A and B are shown apart, each in its own frame.
Chain A
């Protein structure tokens, strides 16, 4: 248990009151409309969604599983956390397309992308799934907090599960997404402070960077300092094929929507940004800071390993980073540290409470139960569904034991069979709702079969993670490809509406030609014979709508920058060779990306926002009902 003094309790309570009170303060803004309650009125500058992306990616369970993979695998364990890198390409591709759709959720976006009965079935299914999934995530994050409270105070686990989540629900119910995003900003400040401080204190206590390195080398474990310490092409704990599979899943996944479970949360942040440009930078910066965070954590956890290298039980070493904070910080700062743990917990709980409520309110209640509901009623339904999600999460949480096992199952397998459909729905015009639905249903069945049921009966050997992914992907494709090709494509009018609005990347030739033929868009400027500079710095809105080499430069450089940041920060903190160069290279790469893509994003945003202001007004049906005497 941590050694809490009165002063520590004072600081922990002060930061808790600030975080809850500060977020609650925004309730006046949240009660105005559905758009305010779930998207903060779609008017946030990029740095607020960015801080929210970071804070939401940082949950109480995150330091546990990051500690788990770094303690077990050394620096190469950082690649387990590189799934966040879907934001590297996602920021420049899927974020732009999704932001232009103006859909509140992916379920709503799919009724723009697809049409007819299939699209409605898909929307209902996705909404129900997301309500369940958010409850599930709330449960596992909640149980992680239960474990931390047990470590810090010796409380029964259920107390840590219920109490902090109930406090979070207080401001999430009142202030909706305004409370979530403002709380995230505030909580992000406190969390970054704690993460940086505890990691530096851990490294310092272990004898500084040189001391950590020498201790690890002395026990013959220097491979832990190498992020590329492969155990072979296909054999061992860290084969090259695993690493390549992970890169494909995360990096290429950025072309699609929903290839990571984090997508659904970040989709809300993308849509709450005030322009396409703000959405892009918000997602990119949030992802980058998250990976820098992992770099700091890794240094601290390697320091922890160097001091206690023989912990065999995962449930014990998963708490390593928390132990650094509770055992090494002085009186006063222990309270701040616990305040930071509360911060990362509150930010994740509030995000998933609000997101689950959004799917229920927008995609089930408003779409199918009461389409004519007033703004006031929708906000009320949002609050009730937030409360129901909270109660449901307590039951899920109490059913879970080990954090990492559930997380890896959810991250790795529950998405394997739908990874490709999630990309195809964005990049291929011919992919339809029936194909997507078939992929989903097939995945639900085969993922359980391949991972647990068939190995339990000896029908199939227990496969390594990367083989499970490719097998699930192939089995899914055997179902969804024929279903897509044997059913009709979406109607051209539906595709045209979607295409003109979002201008998606990929294979959209027939739709593009039809849009040109009907005069809905101008003929592709790129095909004209007019010469252009290598990097275009001045754009017309029509030119900016096309996908050009500037986009591809950002798409290629961005994952490299993310990887260099993540590895470089850890190496720099441990004074390892190459750390400084990796960080400097990442900073330079960031500058190049900005220089290349910013003029284009400004052109996209300027024209697009002007065109769609009226459409948003209709979409929201914004009624300021407090002017009508409502509350």
Chain B
């Protein structure tokens, strides 16, 4: 059976628990929104 890794995490704190996930979420959200706006608008123009 699997034994646990013999080390512990090197990351912790508000930065990794909240700030980084929020930033990643925001980047992904904005990128999707910009893509949709671009392609939907382009279609209306054509």
Contacts and interface: CB of A to CB of B under 8 A. Distances in A.
B27 A18 contact: no
Contacts of A330: 9, 11-13, 16-17
Contact of A332 (B5, B18, B40): B18
Contacts of B20: 333, 336
A482 B44 CA distance: 55
Interface of A: 7, 11, 14-15, 18-19, 22, 25-26, 28-29, 32, 41, 43, 178, 182, 185-186, 189-190, 193, 201, 204-206, 304, 307-308, 311, 316, 319, 323-324, 327-333, 335-336
Contacts of B21: 11, 332-333, 335-336
A178 B29 CA distance: 16
Contact of B8 (A26, A205, A323): A205
Contacts of A19: 28
A331 B21 CA distance: 11
Contacts of A316: 2
Contact of B7 (A7, A28, A307): A307
Interface of B: 2-13, 16-18, 20-21, 24-25, 27-29, 31-32, 35-36, 39-40, 42-43
A329 B9 contact: yes
B6 to A, nearest CB: 6
B5 A327 contact: yes
Given A29-B39, A29-B40, A323-B2, A336 B7 contact: no
A29 B43 contact: yes
A627 to B, nearest CB: 12
Q: Which 10 A-B pairs have the closest CB atoms?
A: A332-B17, A22-B32, A205-B7, A328-B9, A330-B12, A204-B10, A336-B21, A327-B5, A330-B11, A189-B28
A534 to B, nearest CB: 40
B42 to A, nearest CB: 8
Contact of A7 (B13, B17, B25, B39): B17
A22 B34 CA distance: 11
A14 B25 contact: yes
Contacts of A323: 2, 5
B24 A190 contact: yes
B29 A18 contact: yes
A200 B14 CA distance: 19
Contacts of B25: 11, 14-15, 18
Contacts of B24: 189-190, 193, 336
Given A182-B32, A193-B24, A335-B21, A308 B3 contact: yes
Contacts of A190: 24, 28
B3, B8, B10, B29 interface centre (most CB from chain A within 10 Å): B10
Contacts of A327: 4-5, 9
The prevalent SS among residues of A at the interface is helix
A333 B23 CA distance: 12
Contacts of A304: 5
Contacts of B3: 308
B13, B17, B27, B40 interface centre (most CB from chain A within 10 Å): B17
A329 B11 contact: yes
Nearest to B42: A43
Contacts of B6: 307-308
Contact of A333 (B7, B11, B35): B11
B31 A205 contact: no
A189 B32 CA distance: 11
B32 to A, nearest CB: 4
A333 B31 CA distance: 21
A327 B7 CA distance: 9
B28 A331 contact: no
Contacts of A25: 32, 36
A332 B16 contact: yes
Given A18-B25, A22-B36, 6 more contacts: A18-B28, A29-B39, A193-B24, A204-B10, A323-B2, A328-B7
Contacts of A201: 9-11
Contacts of A22: 28-29, 32, 36
Contacts of A307: 5-7
A14 B10 CA distance: 25
B5, B12, B40, B43 interface centre (most CB from chain A within 10 Å): B5
A380 to B, nearest CB: 21
18 contacts: A7-B17, A18-B28, A22-B28, A22-B32, A26-B39, A28-B40, A189-B28, A189-B31, A204-B10, A205-B7, A205-B9, A324-B5, A327-B5, A328-B9, A328-B10, A330-B16, A331-B17, A336-B20
Contacts of B4: 327
Contacts of B43: 29, 32, 41
B5 A186 contact: no
B21 to A, nearest CB: 5
Nearest to A319: B2
Contacts of A189: 24, 27-28, 31
B7 A206 contact: yes
A50 to B, nearest CB: 14
Contacts of A336: 20-21, 24
A19 B4 CA distance: 32
B16 A333 contact: yes
A532 to B, nearest CB: 39
